């Protein structure tokens, strides 16, 4: 995972590769629905600013990082 040309480290160990299936945008937040292995699904809620910064769109492969009650996405 690179950020500003430097490799980022993440403390979370629960990481899964998933595919973005749907993005529902609100006025401030969005819901990103994902398909993960075994045809299961997960979702992540984030700000629209975070969505734009990540550049995530439907069909993208992303890494799902699960940390406590948070589900974070990372685009490779």
> Which pLDDT does position 13 carry in this prediction?
65
Class level of CATH domain 2-75: mainly beta
Report d(CA 48, CA 26) in Å as an integer.
Answer: 8
End-to-end Cα separation, the chain, in angstroms: 6
Model confidence, pTM: 0.68
Give the burial string for 19-35 (b: 16+ CB within 10 Å, else e).
ebeeeeeeeeebebbbe
> Which pLDDT does position 51 carry in this prediction?
94
pLDDT tens digits, the chain, 76 residues: what are they?
445 566 666 665 677 889 999 999 999 999 999 998 887 888 899 999 999 999 999 999 998 887 777 777 888 7
Pairing of strands 2-3, 29-36: unpaired
CB-based contacts of 49, cutoff 8 Å, min separation 6: none
Q: Where are the domains positioned within the chain? A: 2-75
């Amino acid at each position: 995972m690179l950020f500003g040309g430097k490799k980022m480290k993440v403390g979370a160990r629960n990481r899964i590769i998933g595919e973005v299936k749907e993005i529902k945008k609100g006025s401030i937040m969005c819901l990103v629905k994902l398909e993960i292995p075994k045809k299961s699904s997960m979702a992540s809620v984030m700000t629209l600013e975070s969505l734009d910064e990540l550049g995530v769109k439907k069909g993208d492969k992303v890494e799902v990082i699960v940390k406590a009650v948070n589900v974070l996405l990372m685009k490779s």
